[in-house]
Amino acid sequence: MQPNVKPIDCLHFINGEFVPSGNGAVFENINPATEEVLGTVALGGKEEIELAVAAAKEALKGPWKKMTATERVNILRRVSELIMERLEELAVLESLDTGKPLWLSKSIDIPRSAYNFQFFADYIRTLGTEASQSDDIALNYAIRRPLGVVGLINPWNLPLLLLTWKLAPALAAGNTVVMKPAELTPMTATVLAEICRDAGVPAGVINLVHGFGPDSAGAALAEHPDVNGISFTGETTTGKIIMQTAAKSLKRLSYELGGKNPNIIFADSDLDEVIETTLKSSFINQGEVCLCGSRIYVERSAYQAFLDKFVAKAKELVVGDPFQEKTKVGALISEEHFHRVTSYIELAKEEGGEIILGGRRPEGLEKGYYLEPTIITGLNNNCRVVKEEIFGPVVTVIPFDTEEEVIEAANDTHYGLSATIWTNNLRRAHRVAGQIEAGIIWVNTWFFRDLRTPFGGMKQSGIGREGGVHSFEFYSELTNVCIKL
């Protein structure tokens, strides 16, 4: 099946208008599945960020400030509706940009993007603040107000889903924003700006600047003194650079960074259920998901049975054209990332690992950045392949003997984003979950999200939490008012 939606050239969106860069500079947008040029993208930098931030700052004083919460809610709901009305178009653009299968874009990425706006539109209606009485002396209550101009810096793996996860609560709280999407995936962010305008978002409230990170648009956004906060999802090293830059003006930061997540499988779990979900947590979206369970630990008595079934099922996964219905694993995001992921496979061999499945480009796919699902055994927790985030369809499988051993192994990393535990022993589930150093822990499931719950990581996997009230704690300021009685 060939896409019936044409790629778009991407311009900046500043103060309600689509505009080119001041110097006319552009860069090419490459289809990772075919290596063909999809179109051009305006190359923004400090000049475009200055214009966007100025527009956002001015918009804080305009109609957006005077709108009631109900009026903002109605706009957010309209954004959600328009995203679903353009589902097919957005799904095709997302798959062209990322290389992910079209069915994945249509079933998860775009519907979840629409739901983010719906959820935060509903949630803001229920949100209150605290009040307390100091005996008969005084009454204290808190007023919630917008943080101000917020910079949203987005990754390339789930471009629209993660951008709307930030944009929806930022707007619900009354902020104005400057968005900097990943340079590798610019198209759906561009369409989102158009959708927001069509839904009634006033000019200047939403601004979009395309470009690169260091020494470009991303750096200019992070260091701008009129930007009150930065919400960033991406790689840990980049997060450290943004933190250093943002420190000059003491910006508020919200980070969801990398992960090297353990998938812990006890022998008493339902093996068929484990296999079905572990295939997804290992290889969905080509393994380019920060929550993927790339470190698989299996209790020794179940190790071989798991491995045999897991390898057999992984062999059935079809790698190929994102627009073929049978495709389960698409292309990696770029040539650079393809070489990075395959370099870890070579490193695994040097570290004594055995590639028992995959590790190669599939036959017949000479064009595009395709890689077979890869399963590695024979490594221990001291190996770099086990410790470092690979962000591709590559997993390690390691046996363990005791709870204490696997808990120590799971926590032996500077990451702490998520973990999955498989067991039918209720006490063990609670016991182990309480000792794993991760912000999100699933028991007998994976990737299930209730948007009211806290989302984020420990250690070098993030700062702060998103979701429900936690998002509004970042996107708003509280002022305490004390009234003497």
Other Cβ atoms closer than 10 A to 237: 10
Query: Among residues 107, 103, 34, which one has the least CA distance to residue 329?
Result: 103
Is 363 noted as a catalytic residue in this protein?
no
Q: Which residue reads 């060939």 in tokens?
A: 2
Helix (H) or strand (E) holding 176: strand 176-180
HSE-CB at 72 with a 13 A cutoff on CA atoms is 25
HSE-CB at 117 with a 13 A cutoff on CA atoms is 27
Residue environment code for 282-320, b if the CB has 16+ CB neighbours within 10 A, otherwise e: bbbbbbbbbbbbbbbbbbeebbeebbebbbeebeebebb
Looking at residue 432, its amino acid is V
Task: Pick the catalytic residue from 10, 48, 89, 290.
Answer: 290
Is 256 noted as a catalytic residue in this protein?
yes
| DSSP secondary structure letter of residue 216 | S
Separation between Cα atoms, residue 333 and residue 370, nearest integer Å = 9
Separation between Cα atoms, residue 318 and residue 308, nearest integer Å = 19
Separation between Cα atoms, residue 169 and residue 184, nearest integer Å = 25
Task: Pick the catalytic residue from 48, 89, 94, 256.
Answer: 256
3 state SS for 112-154: HHHHHHHHHHHHHHHCCCCEEEECCCEEEEEEEEECCEEEEEC
Helix, strand or coil, per DSSP, at residue 76: helix
Gyration radius (Cα) of the chain, Å: 23
CA 28 to chain centre: 23
Helix and strand totals (H; E) in the chain: 17, 22
Query: Among residues 485, 482, 484, 478, which one has the least CA distance to residue 129?
Result: 478
Catalytic residues: 256, 290
